[in-house]
Structure 1
Amino acid sequence: MRVRDVYIDGKWNFNLLYTTIPVDVMDHLKLLHVCLNSQVVDRYTWKGNLNGLYTAKDGYSWLNRSAFTDNATNDITW
């Protein structure tokens, strides 16, 4: 599923999601300025390394970093 699948005509349609997301996350998403460009291919990007590609090693390192706390979800970019 892509952003363009749930962001239609300038509005979020969270009912189209397969799973529910917390209300506070929906509220944060509603504050985002979304600019969809049909000329750009959608892709996943991992901010845990410089090349943007996820590896199990990078995920493991992220989970085990010394600064990891219960509030680590604040560092996640959706």
Structure 2
Amino acid sequence: MNHYENKKVTKITDEIIENRLEPKKVSQEQIQREFDYIRAEKLLKKMLEKGLITVAEFDKITALNRQTFSPVLAEIMP
């Protein structure tokens, strides 16, 4: 069996390059919310590790943090 079989090559053209997505501009407010979310999650993880909260409480607070801070990547976070 030839190891080149089933390989697909895509030619990059000017049309493909011109149709690429433009990067989104992030506001200072969004950056601050992202930072605050990360800080809150770090603190929450420390509380869980020390046994101050249960896993169920951790999950509930994490969900609330995502609603409160609206991090950009919340849609793909577990």
After TM superposition, the score normalised by the length of structure 1 is: 0.26
More strand by share: 1
After TM superposition, the score normalised by the length of structure 2 is: 0.26
Greater relative CO (CA pairs within 8 A, separation 6+): 2
